[in-house]
Chain A
Amino acid sequence: MIIAERKPIAEITRALAPYKNVLVAGCGTCVAVCWAGGEKEVGVLASQLRLARGAEGSQISIMETTVERQCEKEMVTDLKDRMAEVDAVLSLACGAGVQTMAEIFDDKPVFPAVNTTFIGRPEREGMWVEMCGACGDCYLDRTGGVCPVVRCAKGLMNGPCGGTRKGGKCEIDPDKDCAWVLIYRRLEKQNRLDLMREYCAPKNFRAVKRPGRVQAGKA
């Protein structure tokens, strides 16, 4: 799922400085699960903002809400009735959600409260790691299910680089496992090491047009 991380508070308070009536909107999907922008985080951030304003001697009126999925236009549109009093929106959703809010409520400034970082999964409680780079040209079939685009520091298609440290750690970042060691071990276990002898052509990054577009049902 999409992993995000709250922005430094100074960025948020600076963005909201001119506004007195703010809607703080969370999202109940990805960002809720990675503890960045769900209902809980909305409550905590709203409380912090009120305390911060109070400490400065000024006021802020905050409306708190959480949309089940902020990237769904219908769900965001449901908030229309509450927007009359609002002069700015702080969205805790990922970029897709922030932009949906900004489009539906195009007369109000919409600020992001989180930085959308990567596609990943939980490694242990409270920690999420990047798994997929959304490169648009997946060949996890050839690497035994380990992605070298994100998990190899050099993004090598035909690794290893030869600089792997002792213990199978990356030459660049010794805290990381060398992705190609992981790939080797996985293919070894499955008796498919011959795949490593196949040359893999460089990725055509232009194959992914930005912004990407997918139409279901087309060949």
Chain B
Amino acid sequence: MSMKGTIVAFCCQHSGYPAADLAGKLGLGSPEALRIIRVPCAGRVDVIHMLRAFEKGASAVAVLGCEEGACHHITGNTRAKERVEQCSMLLKEIGIDGRRVVMFRLSPNAPRKFVDVTNEIEMAAESQGRQDDNR
């Protein structure tokens, strides 16, 4: 399966999205392959959004939400985590590495964490891609 290398990241406007903005402002480098989709809460993101991103050729999908216990809408980040796990299982079922979909929790003022996390996702996707090619 050809993975084009894009990373689709659903970023909630209370955490991931402002963290991404801050990372850019500070000139910290995140992967160019990142395509960020802004959502009001990580809890808005559903499994179908993640799967469609893979159908479009994304090599990894990330959901960035608020820290544990800090979701502005209380349960949004928990629901997002459950859906990411569900998506991971659905991918595994059809022979795609379930680690390609991930959830990360961070604060809006954590630009370094944003950068670390997104770079980590890119590296993991690359090595998974190499594994898939070798199969």
Contact = CB atoms under 8 A, between A and B. Distances in A.
Interface of A: 9-10, 13, 40, 43-44, 47-48, 50-52, 54-55
Nearest to B94: A52
A47 B51 contact: yes
Contacts of A9: 93-94
Given A51-B54, A51-B55, A44 B90 contact: yes
Interface of B is mostly: helix
B94 A51 contact: yes
A47 B48 contact: yes
B46 interface: yes
Nearest to A54: B1
B47 to A, nearest CB: 5
B95 A55 contact: yes
Contacts of A44: 47-48, 51, 90
B48 A43 contact: yes
A55 B52 contact: no
The residue among A9, A48, A52 with the most chain B CB atoms within 10 A of its own CB is A48
Interface string B72-110: 000000000000000000110111100000000000000
B68 to A, nearest CB: 19
